[in-house]
Amino acid sequence: MRQSLTEIAQSLKDSQKKVQLIYAFNGTGKTRLSREFKNLISPKEVDSEEEYQSKVLYYNAFTEDLFYWDNDLDNDLDRKLIIQPNGYTNWVLQDQGQEPNITAHFQRYTNDKLTPNFNSEFSEVRFSFERGDDSDSNYVKISKGEESCFIWSIFYSLLEQAISTLNISEENERDTEQFNHLEYVFIDDPVSSLDDDHLIELAVNIAELIKSSDSGLKFIITTHNPLFYNVLFNEIGNKTCYMLNKFEDGSYNIPVKRGDSNKSFSYHIHLKNTIEDAIVNNSIQKYHFTLLRNLYEKTANFLGYPRWSELLPDDKQTYYNRVIQFTSHSTLSNEAIPEPTEPEKQTVSFLLNHLTTNYNYWKAEQNETI
C-alpha cells in the first residue's frame, strides 16, 4: 500500500513497539520522515525551554544546522565552531552541565587528546589536542566527521539523562521536570562517517541505552547503513523492522522486514533489483548511477579488487568517467549534472549486465535464487 510520509509517521506513532528500526537508501526520505513525525507529535515550533517538555526528542540533519564554523579568515588562527542560540544546547550545556559527558563521548569516537573548549556562554567551542604537558595547544578545525561526532555527543548526553531521569517512576523524585512529557525519541542516521569499529561501538551503545529504558519511552531509528542496521537488529529485542521505499510518483511504502539486512532484504540484491526496475520502466535517474557504483564497490570488495573500476569492461576509463560524472558531489550550481540522456541510461543497463554476468560472485547469487 502506497502512503504519504505523514501517513507513515502516523503509523509509527500508533505502534505499540518499544523500538521501530527503519532501513532506507540515502535520498529516500528518512530526514523528511523525522520532520513529519516531529510535526505530528509537537507541531508548534518553540525556541525556548518549553520545547524540551514536548513529547518527542529527535536527532537528524537539522540538528547539525545549529552549528557552523568561524574560520578566522583574516588571521587563520582562531577557528571556532559557533553554536546558534537555541534552547536545546543552552539547556544541555548551561542548565544541566553536561560538558564533561559530552567531552568523554566525543573523545571515545575520535581521539582521547582532541578536546572541545567551550566559552563561558556556551555559544562557541574551540578544539585542541591536549597532550598533558606544557606544550602549546593550538586550536584546530576538526573534520566534518569529527564535527558530526561532537554534535551527536551532545544529543547522546541529553538522551542518557532523559532515560535515567524517566526511569525514576515518581515524578516528584526526579531532579528535573524537563522530560515528564517525553514519549518518543527519533534518531535519524547518527554519525554515518564513523569507521566500522566505531560504528559498531556506537550501535551497541545506543542499544544498551535503549534496553536500559523502562519508562515506556518509544524509539524510532532510521539508517542507510546495513552494518549499523544489523548491529541494532541483533542487539535490541522487542522491535519492529521496516524498509522505507520511495516510488516515482512521490509516494512511499514501508513493509515490515523480519530479519537483518542480509536475511530480509539482502542489501546488494536490493540494489540490483532497484536498478533493474528502473531499467525496465525507463525511469533511470542520476541516483541510479550511485547505486550502480555502490554495487561495483561491494562486489570489488568481496572479490578482493583494490579498486572497483577494475571490474569495468574494456575502455575502463570511459565508463569510469561516466559513472563518476553522476556520483561526484559538486556544491556549485553551475556544475549541476543534467538528467541522464538515453545513451547514458543504456550505460547503466550495460554495466549492470556486465557485472552480473561476468563475475562468479553474482553467478552464485543467481543460482541460489533459482
Find the CATH number of the domain harbouring 252.
Answer: 3.40.50
What pLDDT is stored for residue 338 in this prediction?
59
Same domain, 256 and 310: no
Tally of domains within the chain: 2
- Torsion angles phi and psi, residue 127, rounded to 5: -120, 140
Element (H, E) at 342: helix 342-358
Q: Alpha carbon 75 to chain centroid distance?
A: 35
What pLDDT is stored for residue 133 in this prediction?
58
Same domain, 180 and 297: no
Q: Which residue(s) pair with 218 in the sheet?
A: 184
CB atoms within 10 A of CB 237: 10
Same domain, 60 and 159: yes
Same domain, 219 and 332: no
**What does the alpha-carbon distance between residue 240 and residue 224 come to, in Å, rounded to a whole number?**
17
Tens digits of residue pLDDT in 235-254: 998 899 999 999 888 899 99
Same domain, 24 and 51: yes
Q: What range does the domain containing 274 cover?
A: 266-369
Tens digits of residue pLDDT in 52-63: 457 888 898 888
239 within domain boundaries: yes
- Torsion angles phi and psi, residue 192, rounded to 5: -75, -10
Same domain, 99 and 48: yes
Q: In tens digits, what is the pLDDT along the chain, a chain of 370 residues?
A: 899 999 999 999 999 999 999 998 888 899 999 999 988 887 765 444 444 457 888 898 888 888 999 987 877 778 899 998 777 788 788 888 889 999 999 999 899 999 999 999 999 999 999 876 555 568 889 998 899 999 999 999 999 999 999 999 999 999 888 889 999 999 999 877 788 778 888 999 999 999 999 999 999 999 988 888 888 988 998 899 999 999 888 899 999 988 776 666 666 777 788 889 889 988 888 888 888 888 888 788 777 788 889 999 988 888 888 887 776 544 333 444 557 889 889 999 999 999 888 876 676 555 554 4
Question: Pseudo-torsion of CA 360, 243, 27, 156, nearest 10°?
Answer: -110
Same domain, 255 and 292: no
169 within domain boundaries: yes
Same domain, 167 and 305: no
Element (H, E) at 240: strand 239-243
Q: Which residue(s) pair with 91 in the sheet?
A: none
Same domain, 106 and 19: yes
Same domain, 168 and 36: yes
What pLDDT is stored for residue 16 in this prediction?
93
Query: Which are the contacts of 355, defined by CB distance < 8 A and separation ≥ 6?
Result: 295, 296, 299, 311, 362
210 within domain boundaries: yes
